Chains A and B, each alone.
Chain A
Amino acid sequence: MKKILLALMLATGAVQSAQAEDVLHLYNWNNYITPETVKNFEASCKCKVVQDYYGAMEEMLAKLSAGAKGYDVVIPTGFAIPPLVKQNLVQPLDKSKLPNAKNLNPAFLDAAFDKGNQYSLPYAFTTTLVGYNDKKIKELGIDPGSWSIIFDPAVLAKIKGKVTVLDDSREVFAAALMYNGFSANSTKPEELKKAQETIIKAKPFWAAFNGQSYIKELTLGNIWVAHGYSNDMFQANTDAKAAKRPFGVAYSLQKEGNTLSVDNMMVLKSAPRPDLAIKFINFMLDGKNSAQLTNLIGSGNPNSSAAQFVKPEVKSISAVFPSADNMKKLQQLNALEGKALRDLGRMWTQVKTAK
């Protein structure tokens, strides 16, 4: 027994001492950096990258707020940045050590959640849009380039029960607001009311609110139209191709505008190795490295110099590299607080319970 205990102590000791080497701790979504990129960075910094994952932004916030330490770089979505900064958990970025920041598309800089990019630089983004079964939608002669595909009863009559929308009040209301020509962030009661009416009228034609398995449903052909994230549509199309389906999953931005979620790199104040963290951020801002993720999961790329390294079939997707015109119509959702949040919650409940 004593021998076993001793062996275990040694084993844990070995694990601990391995951590004392040059290690960069990355706290990120799963599957959000390619193994190849990790290898290349490890070679360039002569260090090891250890990754930990979160499944939701709230998880990451909860953990860091409670005081968890040991991570160097974290990659939060825009709305999660102000709370992290407010709690004094993030270090300002030393731009003189980030020469590759010049590669970034200015359209993604200076966002409301971090004016002047004091703390964060964009990593990748997704747009929320409509993905669809290219064969079916073409046959039915429906225009997928407008939000009418999920909101107009006349259009929906042709695809009744084959449509899902995200189970997310912010995203569904944002889409309905944009469809009505309002800002995705509108909090005006009459505009929200109008959006709510649009949603309630369309709801009987929808199969479900689905934020989880629409990739699979699209790939199988069970549903033909899904409101969802661009990365997921890329995945659905890849899966459909791999399964040799007689159709593909296509997606493009809607002409009324789409919501945009940007994920950003930040260095934590408690970072054990801020030097490696800065090196990592600069490395990821190199077009070639940034392009690897886009090629893998079809994430939107905020890096102008990445385009040349992105596969042509990915580069042509407007959700990955939006045209300047499309870019103007993309809106990031603000964090809602207090009354606005409660109002939306109430309206969402009305939507959910409406017959």
Chain B
Amino acid sequence: MHSKQSKWLWAAALFAYAFLYLPLIIVVVYSFNDSKLNAEWVGFTFKWYEILFHDAQMLTAARNSLLIGLITSICATVFGTLAGLAMYKYKLRLLPLLVLTPIAIPEILMGVSLLIFFVMLNMTLGLVSVTLAHIAFCIGFVAIVVRSRLQGMDESLVEAARDLGATPVQAFRLVTMPLIMPGIIAGALMAFTLSIDDFVITFFTAGAGASTLPLQIYSMIRIAVTPEVNAISTLLMLLTLCLILLASKLAPSALRAE
């Protein structure tokens, strides 16, 4: 009985993973296809990657995406960690509401409202406005991750440090922070991915010359999904994979269920 059940579970898992990963694998395979059509295999080529690396628009978009993602993840991690700490320490009703609302609000609403807000401030839309918008919606995600990590922490460790004469700052730096580090890193990674990936909010807040990869790809697929899009998607997947590996090196427990 038991083994039969586990067989079914395995089959279900296999099916689910095939559903999730096969499309990704197909994208990778077809990025090496020597045909403009995604429909049939003609031959192996690197030419789409070559075209990609000579496509000034694409490179600018990639640079914009990485720059925005990097600044967003740094800022959102700092503010999100602080927000997470505050939510954990002071059980205020209002604070979680304030921090978490941007997560729950439909993206399109967030995008439009930010656009109107920036226009009201007479701010020129560009890389800065996109970055500010990204930081705004990423803080909540980081805060949640950090708070849940704090909830799993043994508070007596901090108390012990304080008893042994550590100042609050020392206790935070030497005890709390190392303990919640996996949460912070996971939050930072999440912020980076969300930023790289976001289309709706970016669309509304990006100004002249601040196109990101998702905006660029979206405008390209209006005609058809070209192998160049497959190539850039493959590179993005590779980047994501590297980030996950990096994270598991930096904070092995961040990726482990506890």
Contact = CB atoms under 8 A, between A and B. Distances in A.
B248 interface: no
A71 interface: yes
B236 interface: no
B74 interface: yes
B211 A215 contact: no
A4 interface: yes
B38 A53 contact: no
Most chain B Cβ neighbours within 10 Å, of A23, A66, A235: A66
Nearest to B218: A55
B124 A69 contact: yes
Contacts of A29: 219, 222
B237 interface: no
Interface stretch (A11-19, A151-159, A176-184): A11-19
Contacts of B222: 29-30, 55-56
B116 A67 contact: yes
A4 B75 CA distance: 12
B72 to A, nearest CB: 11
Contacts of A215: 223-224
A31 B223 contact: yes
B208 interface: yes
Contact of B35 (A8, A25, A68, A243): A243
Contacts, number: 101
Contacts of A213: 224
B204 interface: yes
B125 to A, nearest CB: 5
Nearest to B68: A12
A30 B127 CA distance: 20
What is the size category of the interface that chain B forms with chain A? 35 or more
Contact of A69 (B70, B125, B224): B125
B75 to A, nearest CB: 9
Nearest to A231: B223
A66 B119 contact: yes
B42 interface: yes
Given A216-B38, A243-B42, A70 B219 contact: no
Most chain A Cβ neighbours within 10 Å, of B36, B39, B206, B224: B224
A12 B125 contact: no
Contacts of B203: 59, 63
B204 to A, nearest CB: 7
Interface string B109-132: 000100110010000111110010
A70 B67 CA distance: 20
28 contacts: A8-B70, A8-B71, A8-B74, A11-B67, A12-B131, A16-B127, A25-B208, A27-B208, A30-B220, A31-B223, A50-B208, A55-B221, A55-B222, A66-B115, A66-B204, A69-B119, A69-B208, A70-B124, A70-B207, A70-B209, A215-B224, A216-B38, A216-B39, A219-B37, A220-B37, A220-B39, A220-B40, A243-B37
Given A56-B222, A68-B125, A243-B37, 14 more contacts: A5-B74, A8-B67, A30-B219, A52-B211, A53-B219, A67-B119, A71-B208, A219-B37, A220-B39, A220-B40, A232-B223, A239-B36, A239-B37, A243-B42
Interface of B: 35-40, 42, 56-57, 67, 70-71, 74, 112, 115-116, 119, 124-128, 131, 203-204, 206-211, 215-216, 218-224
Interface of A: 4-5, 8, 11-12, 15-16, 19, 23, 25, 27, 29-31, 35, 50-56, 59, 63, 66-71, 213, 215-216, 219-220, 232, 235, 239, 242-243
